[in-house]
Amino acid sequence: MKIRKGDEVQVLSGKHRGRRGEVIRAIPDKHQVVVSGVNVVKRHTRPKRATMQAGIIDKDMPLPVAVVALICAKDGPTRARYEVGKDGSKTRVCAKCGGRL
Cβ pair 28, 22 in contact under 8 A: no
The pLDDT, as a whole number, for residue 69 is 95
Give CA–CA dist 11/92, Å, rounded. Answer: 20
Average pLDDT over residues 66-80: 93
- Could you tell me the domains of the chain? 8-73 (2.30.30.30)
Contact indicator for 54, 47 with CB cutoff of 8 Å: yes
* Beta-sheet strands, E only, within 37-79: 40-45, 55-60, 63-64, 68-72, 76-78
pLDDT at 68 over 90: yes
For the whole model, what pTM was predicted?
0.83
Beta bridge partners of 68: 11
pLDDT tens digits, residue range 7-59? 999 999 999 999 999 999 999 999 999 999 999 999 998 887 776 778 888 99
pLDDT of 99 over the 90 cut: no
